[in-house]
Amino acid sequence: MTRLLLSRSQEHGFFIWHGFGRAYQAALQPDARHTLVEPTRPVMGALLLETLATLDETLADNEVLARGETDRAGWCTPELLRISARRLLAPGGGDGERAEALMLRSIETARRQGAL
């Protein structure tokens, strides 16, 4: 599917979407993840970083997760809340009560958005 996005966006000069396509391709191919290096991440913009985190939670940094916890991530919010909760439940993550609260908030937010 990324090939179609890359092809059409380049063909029609939609360079912003071409950037999204390249980022999606890198996120979905473990051997291409090195192309998502730290210096280029801020240039991608919050929307793209949030979207990438929904594809692979290891791509969610603390700033992206904070956007989810402060309701600034739009449709990505439920997934970012879930990722935050999972990290709290990981060994050494700490706070089970906070993780449960985030998970419940994730479910409620998804329901409010009409997500499955």
> pLDDT (tens digit, 9 = 90+) per residue, 67-99?
999 999 999 999 999 999 999 998 887 788 999
Residue 22: C-alpha distances to residues 13, 16, 40, 77, 105 (Å): 14, 10, 12, 23, 32
Contact 55, 63 (CB under 8 A): no
pLDDT given for residue 6 in this prediction: 86
Q: Show Cβ contacts of residue 99 under 8 Å, excluding neighbours closer than 6 positions.
A: 84, 85, 86, 88, 89, 93
When computed from its CA atoms, the radius of gyration of the chain, rounded to whole angstroms, is 16
Task: Break the chain into its structural domains and give their ranges.
Answer: 1-36, 45-116
pLDDT for 88: 94
Low-confidence ranges of the chain (pLDDT < 50): 39
Residue 39 confidence (pLDDT): 46
